[in-house]
A and B are shown apart, each in its own frame.
Chain A
Amino acid sequence: MALKPSPVRRSAANITGLVFGLLWIFPVYWLVNNSLVTDDALQSRTPSFLPLDFTWAHYETVLHDSRFWSALRMSFGVALIVVVAALLFAFFASMALSRFRFKGRKIVIISVLVIQMIPAEAMFISQYKMIDSWHLLNSMLGLSLLYVGASVPFTIWMLKGFVDGVPVELEESAMIDGCSRMGAFFRVTFPLLGSGLVASGIFAFLAAWNEYTLALVLLSSDNSKTLPLWIQGFSGQNQATDWGGIMAGSTLMALPVIILFVIVQKKMAQGLVAGAVKG
């Protein structure tokens, strides 16, 4: 039987799985491990595989760095604006795409996919000039504005799969009971999208949290940097690279994302698959 493999094959699979998992978890382990050992251990030619020369010193350095806090504020602010705006716009758009058949609908759906292909580098220069002409360089608003546009298509893509999953009948019966069309969207469908909103919201959050290049182009002043810019600048600050500080900073930057991922892991893959299956 194919469904109950022999014990030998099963343990072969388990060993392969173990190696696979170890390979993939290693860089994460290495990051955390090296953020917790002393500079002497880091400088030694023999790597320390366990944090035996343990210290919190690198975290203290980072947490006492005012640039870290300003970058954290900037990153959170931008991500928050992006999540709220992208979800709202994408909710409206996916209602339109899921509940109506109208002229131009197919073009919109194809555009959502094709937009992903436009190389970001193709737009930097004119995006920079546009933001500059609005006097929004080095500002939270300017960066968020561009991020919202970049994440809306992907958010629509994911959310539409979830909207398709909510039966139209629910809205229709609410409308028979006297609800307006928009009222039905907001009072009936919106609450039922819970997991879809969470999943697509997290994707928008991540895109904003991780983005490096556009931030590099738009933000040059020291107190407007986002976390990715801050961590990259960290290596250039001192003459000798402070690897411990970089590892601690990178771990702190990854922490919120890891927590978010653990919360909604299943929903995210499902959201993507739902989008793929349902178009």
Chain B
Amino acid sequence: MTVTSTRAKPGGILPGRPEPPAPKKRRRNPLPYLLLLPAVLIVLVDMGYPLLRQITMAFQHFSLEQQFGKPAEFVGLDNFTRVLGDSAFWLTLGRSLAFCLVCAALTMAIGIGGALLLTKLSRAVSVFVQAAMLLAWAMPVLSSLQVFQWIFDSRSGVVDWSLAGLGLQGMAGYNWFSNPVTFFAVAAILVIWMSVPLVVFMVYASVTQIDESMLEASTLDGANGWKQFREITVPTIAPVLLLVTILEIIWDLRVFTQIFILQKNGGITEQTNVLGTYVYQVGLSGGDYGVASATALIMLLITLLLTWRYVTQFLKQGEV
């Protein structure tokens, strides 16, 4: 067996390219495939099969009758043309994209800002901020949803009370969930509040890996803070930034639970649907599985389109 030298890599974070592990010369070794088998099998059963099923359904007429045993007939692209011809779908799509981009952009901006801020704080404040981030991060989504509904409650909510106290009398007793604009404002605040801590921790973890002497040298060379940020910090943390951006876009586009539960307050479901809740409504509530499946596939396609550039860049950068 050939042993190529591999440098020992500590479990922590090492910026830059790691050396690939020693390549194994023996051809057709079945061991890696056997090792992968359980993971691949369970993913195929849990997600591969349902996805295939769903793709098939997207090309079938499939509603409650078929659910109870009537054979489903193939209808070609009928479901897709119905979705694409529905103005409610386009409105929902626009809403979802806008919500996703606003949330992802603000989350990244606040998260990066927060991480850089952490490096400038005195020890006590830094510990406090990290503790706050940790607590917010740890909150289960359902717990957060309950407290946010309470904070924005129209009767006893602290937000309405504070705004009224600040002189905005119209805000006393205001129902945030009855108007699409304020509904999404609350949803965005919640989503951003939940997502920022991960970004802060990941970016902070990689910022602290930056070689201090590089920063010192560049200061001696007369580089200012912004220049340092662009030319030293960003390239070093680029892989992490890419990964977080991809994840944020994916997560914010498929947001479901938050919207679904907040919708129970307002009674304006139609005007506050995002893609996830739209699919749920058409499929599970409406019983039109064929159209719902087609919509879900379109949603997957959009996610791929949105993230593809980042994903390929990421795969190139992090040597796989």
The yes or no verdict on A and B being binding partners is yes
Q: Chain A interface (Cβ within 8 Å of chain B)?
A: 1-3, 5, 9-10, 13-14, 16-18, 20-22, 24-25, 27-28, 30-31, 34, 42-47, 85, 88-90, 92-93, 95-102, 105-106, 108-110, 113-127, 129-130, 145-146, 148-150, 152-153, 156, 162, 164-169, 172, 181, 195-196, 206, 209-210, 212-213, 217, 227-228, 231-232, 235, 243, 246-247, 250-251, 253-254, 257-258, 260-262, 265, 268-270, 272-279
User: Quick one: which of B1-50 are within 8 Å of A by CB?
Assistant: 1, 3, 6-16, 18, 20-24, 29, 31-33, 35-40, 42-43, 45-47, 49-50
- The distance from the CB of B251 to the nearest CB of chain A, in whole angstroms, is 9
B156 lies within 8 A of chain A by Cβ:
yes
Which of B38, B118, B132 is A24 in contact with, Cβ under 8 Å?
B132
Contact indicator B13/A270 (Cβ below 8 Å): yes
Residues of A within 8 A of B11 (CB): 162, 165-166, 195-196, 270, 274
Contact indicator A45/B18 (Cβ below 8 Å): no
Please measure, in the bound complex, the distance between the C-alpha atom of A189 and the C-alpha atom of B247, giving whole angstroms. 29
Which of B6, B14, B122 is A277 in contact with, Cβ under 8 Å?
B14
Given contacts A102-B33, A270-B13, A277-B13, are A2 and B239 in contact (CB under 8 A)? no
Residues of B within 8 A of A3 (CB): 212, 215-216, 219
Question: Dominant SS at the B interface?
Answer: helix
Residues of A within 8 A of B102 (CB): none
Contact indicator B120/A100 (Cβ below 8 Å): no
Contact indicator B142/A243 (Cβ below 8 Å): no
Which of A9, A93, A250 is B39 in contact with, Cβ under 8 Å?
A93
Pick from B69-77, B78-86, B177-185, B276-284 the stretch touching chain A. B276-284
Contact indicator A116/B250 (Cβ below 8 Å): yes
Residues of B within 8 A of A124 (CB): 280, 283-284
Looking at A117, A122, A146, A165, which has the most chain B CB atoms within 10 Å of its CB?
A: A122
Pull 29 A–B residue pairs with CB atoms less than 8 Å apart, ordered by A.
Answer: A2-B216, A10-B120, A14-B125, A21-B128, A27-B147, A28-B147, A101-B24, A102-B32, A105-B32, A109-B320, A113-B315, A121-B254, A121-B256, A122-B293, A125-B289, A126-B54, A152-B43, A164-B9, A164-B21, A169-B3, A210-B142, A212-B141, A258-B138, A260-B138, A262-B134, A273-B206, A274-B13, A277-B16, A278-B18
B228 lies within 8 A of chain A by Cβ:
yes
- The distance from the CB of A217 to the nearest CB of chain B, in whole angstroms, is 7
Given contacts A21-B125, A274-B11, are A169 and B50 in contact (CB under 8 A)? no
Pairs of residues from A and B, 8 with the lowest C-beta to C-beta distance, nearest first: A149-B46, A279-B318, A122-B296, A250-B143, A126-B53, A96-B35, A126-B50, A269-B201
- The distance from the CB of A128 to the nearest CB of chain B, in whole angstroms, is 8
B99 lies within 8 A of chain A by Cβ:
no
- Contacts A30-B151, A231-B142 supplied; 9 other A-B pairs, CB < 8 Å: A28-B136, A90-B39, A109-B320, A126-B50, A172-B1, A196-B11, A212-B261, A260-B138, A279-B319
- The distance from the CB of A99 to the nearest CB of chain B, in whole angstroms, is 6
**Residue on A nearest B53 in the bound complex, by CB:** A126
- The distance from the CB of B316 to the nearest CB of chain A, in whole angstroms, is 10
Residues of B within 8 A of A90 (CB): 39
Please measure, in the bound complex, the distance between the C-alpha atom of A88 and the C-alpha atom of B131, giving whole angstroms. 31
B138-159 vs A: 1/0 string, CB under 8 Å? 1111111011101101011110
Size bracket of the B interface: 35 or more
Residues of B within 8 A of A106 (CB): 320
Question: Dominant SS at the A interface?
Answer: helix
Given contacts A167-B6, A250-B147, A273-B206, are A22 and B228 in contact (CB under 8 A)? no
Residues of A within 8 A of B257 (CB): 212-213
